[in-house]
Structure formats: structure tokens, C-alpha cells
Structure 1
Amino acid sequence: MNKHLVVGAGLIGCLLAERLAARGDTVTIATRSGSTAVGVTTLVLDASDPATFVQAATDASTIFVCTNPPYTDWAAQWPPIFDAAIAAASAMGARIVVMGNLYPYGSPTGAMSEHSPETTTEVKGLIRRAGWAKIRTAHDTGYIRAVEVRASDYVARHAALRDSKRNPVDTERTHCEAGD
């Protein structure tokens, strides 16, 4: 059985924790407020504190970083969160999966892929780009194992999109959305 630490209980973190638990894995969801999810252990965590992050990650095989501080706090909160996640992954030998976004790419001029240049000049994009660069460097040097998953908009239960449209995602039907 796998043991996972999911940091953050928003749209992604909560659903991820519940799905991992449903398949029989042991899951702890850690948040600033102690939010809960079905079938998991909950924990209040200051993710910017390396010592408590390491303790929360005890015996975890995977650390999912799904938290998202308020935009106004990104400059102060993201760098220590990334540092603490690296410290915890290294101490536990755990993998890190970072739930990212598209901000590091800046304003695209065409189709985007994992090979697209990260050309942002916007503060939030620079913060996320720097954090992922730090984790990627730790991965590339063999210090930890990590991957980032980037998405633009999150479509899940409790999402604003779900309330405005009939959501085929919940019924596992094909879904088409306007856009590139």
C-alpha cells in the first residue's frame, strides 16, 4: 500500500486525496486550515516550515503539492513552500508532484507544450517559474524525484464551470470545450 501526503484541499487536492484513498492508498491531506476530505487523515500544516513539512511527510512515497496561497502572498509564501517540499522529499525519499499552472509561459504566441519557452515577465509567473526551476534542478541532480503537472483551468466538482454548465466530466462522457 502506498502512503501519500497531499498538501492543499482545493479542487485538485481534495479530489486527488479522495481518489487515492478510494483505491486503497493511505492518504494524509494537509492544509493551513485543517480542511477534510472523504476517507483520508487530515492535518493542519504550515507548508512553508521545513521541519513540520518533513514530519507531515513521514513514510510518504509521494508528496503532492496542490496548495495555492492567496495571490497577494505568493512572493512571501511560495519560495519557502518549494524549499520545504524539497527538504521533505529528500528526507523521506519521496517523489514530488507539483500541481502547476501556465503562468510561467507568459503570453503564448501559438500552441503550448512542455517544450514551450517560459517567457513570462509577470510577477506570479516569475514566482512559479523560479519555484519549479528549483525543484527541477533538485530532480535533475538526483537529489529528489519530481514532476510538475501544468493546467490552465480546473474542471471538477465544485468548480464554477460545473455550476454554469452540465458537467460531463462527472459522468465520464466526452466533453468538448471551445478554445485551443
Structure 2
Amino acid sequence: MMLEEFEKRTGYFPTMKEYEVIERAYIHFEGDKDAFCKAYKKNEGEIARMIQHEANMQTINEQNEIEKLVESYKFRIAELEKALEREQEWKRYEDTDNVSQADYIKLRTASGTRALSDEEAKELLFDWFGFAKEKIKIYHCVPVYEVNRHRQLRKVGELDRFPLYNATDWNYIRFDCGRMCYELKDDELRPYLH
């Protein structure tokens, strides 16, 4: 029996899931289309509940299967990501044109070194190099990168890099002015490369 025939004979418009159950019930029914539809209408409440229950159970079973499949895919994806990480051989990368973390730590841990406030750092950059204070943006960290064997970079975190001052020839400030990026290290102004 076609869905349209069932709808026309009963006046009930089932979902596709419900109709699949109705069709199975019709196949096992002893009688023709008209007799089945008449029995359905006569006993609509009980049959409808039974059909709805079976359709709901079918939907729940399908959802459980889908959830199991999704979990297995998530597990497989995690395995593949781990294998890809190993294959790519990611290693810590530090641009040699920028100030190294080791040099920064040496300055930070030296006796007499003090952290500068943003205002103090801007004042120093204005006095020494003439940068407009209102255009200076002071940074307190730098990105940490890793490089793989295919020379691809990825950002994996950040390191604290507060402005520091120990002496006129031993200091550090990471800043931008306008569209230019700079590091001041030991009284030497240098471009900061991203």
C-alpha cells in the first residue's frame, strides 16, 4: 500500500518513520488495504500508540548506532592526529633575528633589573628615539612557535616579555609604533619579525 492510499483511506498523515512501521504492520495483516485501514481507524488509539512506540524505538536505535559511529570516528581522528604529529616532527622554533628567550631571562634575573610600566617604557622610547607616545603600543608577551620538518610554523603559546631596564645599555622593550614592530634590546632598536 502506498502512503497516499493510507492517508486517503484513514485521514491520518504519518511521518516517514511511522509509515515504515505501518507498512510492516500491513504486510502481516490478514486482509486487504481497505480492511487494514478500517481496522486502523476503528482501533486508532491502540494501533497508533503501538506504531508510534515502534517508530520511536527504531529512531532511538538508529540514534544509538549513529552515536557509536561518531565515537568511533572521534577515536580514529584522535589516533590519526597523533600519528600526524609524530610524522611532522614538530620542534620549538625561535627566530634568530629576534631577541632570544635566554637573553631576556638573563636580563630579567640580573641584579638591579626592574620592570617598566607602559608609561615609563613609552617615555624612554620618546626620549631616546623620538617615538610619539600616543602611537606606541607596548607588548607584555611574545608568541611561541613550533616548526615541522616541512618548515611550517604554528603558534603554540606565549611567553611573558615585560619591558625591563637595568642600564642604558642593558634593557628590553617589545613595542609597535604605527605599522612597524620593534624590539629595543641593550640600547639597540631592531625590527621585530613575526
Give the TM-score, by structure 2 length.
0.20
Which gives a bigger RCO, structure 1 or 2 (Cα 8 Å, sep 6+)?
A: 1
The structure richer in helix per residue is 2
The structure richer in strand per residue is 2
Q: Could you say which structure has the larger radius of gyration?
A: 2
